[in-house]
Chain A
Amino acid sequence: MSEETLIAPIGVLAFRHASVLAGRCARISSRNLDAVIMSVMLPVMLLLMFVYLFGGALNTGGRYLTYVIPGVLLLCAGFGAATTAVTVSQDMTSGIMDRLRSMNVSAPAFLSGHVAASVARNAMATVCVSAVAVAIGFRTSSGAAQLLLAIGVLAAYVVAISWLAAAAGLLAKTPESANGFTFLFMFLPYASSAFVPISTMPTWMQGFARNQPVTPLVETMRGLLVGTPVGNAPVRGALWCVGLLIVSVAGSGVLFRRRTR
């Protein structure tokens, strides 16, 4: 073994492991061509579906394309991040876990590798969706700073929800059941202000829709991209992301130890 491994502090080691494993996950994702095509096609199709199929019927005041863009971006992010549950679960049930553990790869390093790869996958999908959105007429008057902030909000959501998915992947016994978690992430944006105003929902739904993570994030994104008022949405959105992150990171640590005992 190299001298370096002996003396490198655990944090440095974990960071190096995480970056090597992020490369590994990204490479493995890119080898699954069907999944790559799906992860780009699905968001684009969702965008087109909302704009051209539902857009005509929905009255949200103003152009529906403008209204729906933040929601579609978050929806895709959630969907892309949820793939993490499946990839983590696949690793947990395969022999590679023994190799990683016997090389002192820690749970946080292993999972952050997966999360980093998820962020990369989502970045690709986001770029494609944004390009198509611009092609079909989406325009924004926001400046560079606001666009960067919007990207930051999206990234925060992707990271938080990828960690949640990673924890879900540790919880699931098989990759197939881990796949079930993707539905949860798909569903959340529908029950938010992403696609229809909350005031048009049944009253029992409104409480949930107002107090779930996607709504404040959509409102924040909309504010940044379209200029609508945001109120306290950025603060609530940030709290949601931080909260989800803390719960998922702590939870996944516990789950990882339980699974590998």
Chain B
Amino acid sequence: MNRPLAIEMCGVVKSYKGIRVLDGIELAVKSGSVFALLGPNGAGKTTLVRILATLSTADAGSVRVAGLDVVRNRRQVRQLVSLTGQFAAVDEPLTGDENLRMVGRLAGLSSTEASTRASQLLGEFDLVDAGARRVSTYSGGMRRKLDLAASLVVQPSVLFLDEPTTGLDPRSRQQMYAVVRALVAEGVTVFLTTQYLEEADQLADQIALIDAGRIVAQGAPAELKSRVADQVLSLTMRSAGALADAVAVLGSRASPMPGLCVEVATDGSARDVRALLDTVDPGGLGLEAFTIRSATLDDVFLALTGRASAPALEEALHV
């Protein structure tokens, strides 16, 4: 069955002072799915989300959200979407409860309805005790949760989350994931940006990789992961000879590192790791040590595009 598209972007271009920040973006997101936009700092994630949420306009190309053109039908689109931006959009001098009630009133709820909804959300987001305190006394994580709660006062049909877990501790991060899953179960389309492959993998049905304003890869997490492993086995060999042997036996899977190190992708299972260790060092003499780490955004870039992300390249060139 073909589900209708919640988001469609065609040939979207956006420049700031002559610099192309978005350069021909093509995206399609199915209704009721979770879409993750993965990219390094400055890739254009926020710019893209703001265009989708009608807070900014593209210089060229067409953008449709919930079947409506974001420029021509801006008012209607705004009634259907909600955005939790990268920086909290809440009033610092007001309390959490007051913020939520204000949003409810602006959305057209009566003051009793707005109060009820505010207490409900404070409960859901673990902010009951903080509800009566001014936001200026909140921690960064609490502020983000309140901001998300404010975006959910009236349930949107498309929710945009710009780096929703940046600055959250592991527990709050899990809570955020649970919120996203619950919303999706109710039919909400969620579009989120992140710098973490693992997060995109946990939540998303589709992932797009953005770098320097272009989508460089797109697909289901499993698809992308078949091209990139999510774990990396990092091997330190005893000697240059052992290193050469290891690189030879791994072939194209090996990524040589500085020193006596070589890295190889793995799924992280005991069986795979044991097999790799046996392959590299059948005699048990050549290997000094090994570590397993999660693949970073740069590993993903390297695997999918054969090069580092733009900021990583810049860093490499300057350092």
Contact = CB atoms under 8 A, between A and B. Distances in A.
A105 B81 CA distance: 14
B8 interface: no
Interface in A221-261: 260-261
A104 interface: yes
Contacts of B56: 261
Given A1-B79, A1-B80, A5-B107, A95 B102 contact: no
A176 interface: no
Contact of A31 (B106, B109, B134): B134
Interface string B30-64: 00000000000000000000000111110000000
B90 A102 contact: no
A32 B93 contact: yes
Contacts of A5: 79, 107-108
A8 interface: yes
Contact of B93 (A16, A28, A105): A28
Contacts of B87: 95
A20 B108 CA distance: 10
Interface string B63-99: 0000000000001001111110101111111100010
A261 B57 contact: yes
Contacts of A28: 91, 93-94
Given A103-B78, A104-B78, A1 B89 contact: no
B55 A95 contact: no
Contacts of B88: 95
A32 B92 CA distance: 12
A101 interface: yes
Interface residues on B, range: 20 to 34
Given A4-B108, A6-B79, A98 B55 contact: yes
Contacts, number: 78
B150 interface: yes
B173 to A, nearest CB: 21
B85 A95 contact: yes
Contacts of A17: 106
Contacts of A100: 106
A168 B57 CA distance: 25
B154 interface: yes
B250 interface: no
A24 B98 CA distance: 9
A122 B317 CA distance: 59
B105 interface: yes
A45 interface: no
A27 interface: yes
Contacts of A4: 108
Q: Which 3 A-B residue pairs are closest in the complex by CB-CB distance?
A: A99-B89, A95-B89, A5-B108
Given A8-B108, A95-B90, A96-B91, 18 more contacts: A1-B80, A1-B107, A1-B156, A2-B108, A20-B106, A23-B102, A24-B94, A27-B98, A28-B91, A32-B93, A98-B55, A99-B90, A99-B103, A100-B106, A102-B54, A102-B83, A104-B75, A261-B57
Interface of A: 1-2, 4-6, 8, 13, 16-17, 20-21, 23-24, 27-28, 31-32, 94-105, 260-261
12 contacts: A1-B80, A2-B107, A2-B108, A2-B109, A20-B106, A27-B98, A28-B93, A32-B93, A95-B87, A97-B89, A98-B85, A103-B103
